[in-house]
Amino acid sequence: MSTTDIAPDTVANATLTESSVTTREPGATAALAMWITSSDSKVIGRTFVGASFLALVACAVLGVLLGLERVDGSDTLLDASAIPQMFAAFRIGLVWGVMIPFLLGVAIAIVPLQVGARSLAFPRLALAGFWAWFAGLVLVVISLAANGGPGGGDADFVDLFLAAHGLLVCGLAAAAVSVATTVLATRAPGLRMSRVPFFAWSAMIASIGLLLVLPVVLGVLIYLYVDHHNARALFGGNVGIGSWIGFALTQPATYLFAVPAVGLTAELVPVTFRKRMPLRVAVYTGISLVGIAALSAVTQQADHDLPWSGSGLSVDDFGNKFDDMLPYALFTLVPILGVVMVMFLGAVAARPASDAEAWVRPRITAAFVFAFFGLGMLLVGMLGGALVPITDLGLQGTVFEEGVVVYVAYGTALAGLGAVAYWSPKWTGKLIPDKPLFGLATLGMVATVLAALPYYVAGFADQPAASGVYDYDGPSGLWNTLVTIGHALMAVVVLAFIGLWLRSSRSSGDDAGDDPWGGQTLEWLTTSPAPTDNFLEVPTVMSPEPVLDLLGAEHADRGRSAR
């Protein structure tokens, strides 16, 4: 028998008619308890996304502080002993606090709707995952603030950092099990894997990738904790932590965490250009190729030195260079190929295939613009990431690497904001006004470029990473000032987005309607906001675009009636 975990209130609602129940608003405590313990995937997903919003704002503020510290290169603004912890908090926050949970939260909320499931698989596991992740993240922040973390001077708080890190990793893994199982095992009848929506596919790839990577991180953390707590003999004590867990916090491992951003863009292209997506298998392949980045993490290879002598490959040393080139190509270039494939296929889909199609005007939405900019930033980050392993460029250990991480993380966050804007009707029943969102999307793109691109330049000038002290020729103050402005701008964008979302969700204005965008997938067949159990009746699916199938049937029916 299939064990479907459905909230008890769902069953109760299903058996009671509206007229037979006197509805009463729950008190504040009861409402809080319902929210904390809810097994409704939309609520769990929204909680993940809300917490990630806060983490994103916190990271942007940290970015501002670290940028200010580096404006004049003299390390005078902040307490010198706190700077390593702040750099660690910035990196950990971007990856564990924003990239993974943001898109995982969107997936938890939306994937069950997309696959026609009444509920997320193991919703209570996902809920437990959220609280484990959240508690772990809070404890990580506390330990970093109390001189714990990589290089931290307080041994107890270093231990706390490692234990809390393990807790948040377990939480994310639990949520990933829920998402992957939902796609694999709860699809509506007829929704074969070859018909799964692109976002759901990408969420599955990312979740399976996370389940490959996170346990490896956990294993390292167990060793680090036991070693640091006792002998401090083999792993470098507090100083060694960064190098042992760094593989999960840098490229190319971070590309895996951005896979849902690629799936989101692929999802929005056919909706925007109002047609069915051609070559779906190639799109699935492109998304999956980005997930190859998981291999770089499970092999714990943060980077691969690529000797670049400029003399070309000779027969004698071909074998040696092939050894270097193969992991480089697999981990760094293949994910880029995946993104390029999705972009290319999106462009193919956008081009009118016939004169008749040329009359169909695309509907460019703010959600699409967010996702498009996000994917663009991600690609720029990945291209930068491809340069880092080339040792002759001397970029390792410079701020160039930080620029890559910021490009990838902020690009993913931009796509996440697009996802929230797109699926907001299913969460709140309301649309976020498009016009201000266009401005925010543009501002978000500018913020990302400002926060990351100057460090591409400063990296070539050898500005060291994770340090406020540097000395090089060139307008160093300008680069660091621009980065500071970029992070500040990103904080403003996120806060403005949160404000708009909250205002629209509480407004008494018109409801969004069930399908405001002309969507093609199953979630647009249910009401906005989606009910607790998603669908009154589980639909049968006959193609990857069930909504278009219905519209086609409706038009054909109208034609017959007219005749």
Partner 1 sequence: MYALPAAAAPPPRRQVLVGTALASMATIMLVGGMLAIWILQRERARDAGGTWLPEGTTIPEVPANVMLIGVWSLCVFAQWAVYSARRADRAHTALALGIVGLMTLALINAQAYVYAQMELPIADGGYAGMFYAITGTMVALFVVGLVFSAISAFRFLGGRIADREIIAANALYWYVLATVFSAVWLIVYVAK
DSSP-derived secondary structure letter, 544: S
**325 counts as binding partner 1 under rule CB under 8 A:** no
Which residues sit opposite 518 in a β-bridge?
none
259 is a contact residue toward partner 1 (CB under 8 A)? no
H or E stretch at 41: helix 41-69
The nearer residue to partner 1, 4 or 442, going by C-beta atoms, is 4
**The amino acid at 340:** V
Residue 173 binds partner 1, judged by CB under 8 A: yes
CA distance 167 to 217: 11
> What is the distance between the alpha carbons of residues 7 and 127, in angstroms, rounded to a whole number?
12
- Per CB under 8 A, does 562 bind partner 1? no
State the nearest-atom distance from the C-beta of 188 to partner 1, in Å: 6
Give the residue, chosen from 142, 216, 337, 390, that forms a contact with partner 1 under the rule CB under 8 A.
Answer: 216
Give the footprint of partner 1 on residues 121-160 (CB under 8 A): 121-122, 125
Separation between Cα atoms, residue 242 and residue 236, nearest integer Å:
10
Distances (CA, A) of 203 to 46, 110, 473, 540: 16, 10, 45, 22
Residue 160 or 266: the one with the smaller Cβ distance to partner 1 is: 160
Answer yes or no whether residue 162 interacts with partner 1 by CB under 8 A.
no
Binding of partner 1 at residue 92 (CB under 8 A)? no
Prior bond of 516 cis (ω within 30°): no
Q: What are the structure tokens assigned to 317, written together?
A: 């040393």
Binding partner 1 by CB under 8 A: which of 27, 537, 560, 563? 537
Among 34, 142, 211, 337, binds partner 1 (CB under 8 A): 211
Using the contact rule CB under 8 A, the part of the chain among 120-128, 147-155, 365-373, 426-434 near partner 1 is 120-128
Options 74, 81, 507, 540; binder of partner 1; rule CB under 8 A = 540
Contact stretch for partner 1 (CB under 8 A) within 312-320, 403-411, 432-440, 552-560: 552-560
**Total residues binding partner 1 (CB under 8 A):** 55
**Least distance from C-beta 88 to partner 1, angstroms?**
21
Q: In terms of C-beta density within 10 A (0-12 exposed, 13-18 middle, 19 or more buried), how is residue 11 classed?
A: exposed
Window of 217-225, 329-337, 380-388, 490-498 that interacts with partner 1 by CB under 8 A: 217-225
User: Do the Cβ atoms of 169 and 136 come closer than 8 Å?
Assistant: yes
The DSSP code for 124 is: H
Beta carbon nearer to partner 1, 467 or 543: 543
Name the minimum Å distance from CB 10 to partner 1.
16
Of the CA atoms within 13 Å of residue 333, those in its CB half-sphere come to: 11
List of long-range contacts for 217-220, beta carbons under 8 Å, 24+ apart = 217/169, 217/245, 217/248, 217/297, 218/166, 218/169, 218/170, 218/173, 220/244, 220/245, 220/300
Residue choice 155, 279, 298, 498 for contact with partner 1 (CB under 8 A): 298
Q: How far apart, in whole angstroms, are the C-alpha atoms of residue 266 and residue 274?
A: 13
Please select the residue that binds partner 1; options are 26, 50, 190, 509, rule is CB under 8 A: 190
Q: Of residues 145, 184, 443, 500, which one binds partner 1 by CB under 8 A?
A: 184
Specify the stretch interacting with partner 1 by CB under 8 A; choose among 94-102, 420-428, 499-507, 548-556. 548-556
The answer to the question of residue 240 lying near partner 1 (CB under 8 A) is no
Distance of alpha carbon 43 from the chain centroid: 18
Q: Of 16, 5, 96, nearest to 44 (Cα)? A: 5
Whether residue 245 contacts residue 283, with contact meaning beta carbons closer than 8 Å, is answered with no
CA 275 from chain centre, in angstroms, equals 26
Query: What is residue 145's three-state secondary structure?
Result: helix
Residue 223 lies near partner 1 (rule: CB under 8 A):
yes
Q: Decide if residue 212 touches partner 1 (CB under 8 A).
A: yes
Q: Considering the rule CB under 8 A, would residue 218 count as an interface residue with partner 1?
A: yes
CB 383 within 8 A of CB 302: no
With CB under 8 A as the contact rule, the residue among 30, 185, 360, 502 that binds partner 1 is 185
Cβ 229 to partner 1 shortest distance, Å? 8
Verify binding: residue 201, partner 1, rule CB under 8 A.
no
- The CB density around residue 27, as the number of other CB atoms within 10 Å, is 9
Is 320 a binder of partner 1 (CB under 8 A)? no
Identify which of residues 216 and 461 has a Cβ nearer to partner 1 in the complex.
216
Among 227, 303, 523, 533, binds partner 1 (CB under 8 A): 227
Closest CA to 524 of 101, 283, 199: 199
Q: Does 177 bind partner 1 (CB under 8 A)?
A: yes
Residues across the chain:
563
**The one segment of 128-136, 154-162, 213-221, 406-414 that binds partner 1 by CB under 8 A:** 213-221
189 near partner 1, rule: CB under 8 A: yes
- Residue 310: C-alpha distances to residues 222, 287, 288, 360, 391 (Å): 43, 33, 33, 51, 12
Note the maximum CA span of the chain. Answer: 86
In angstroms, what is the minimal distance from the CB of 268 to partner 1? 21
Which residues contact partner 1 by CB under 8 A?
1-4, 121-122, 125, 173, 177, 180-181, 184-190, 208, 211-216, 218-220, 222-223, 225-227, 230-231, 233-235, 298, 300, 514-515, 525, 537-541, 546, 549-551, 553-554, 557
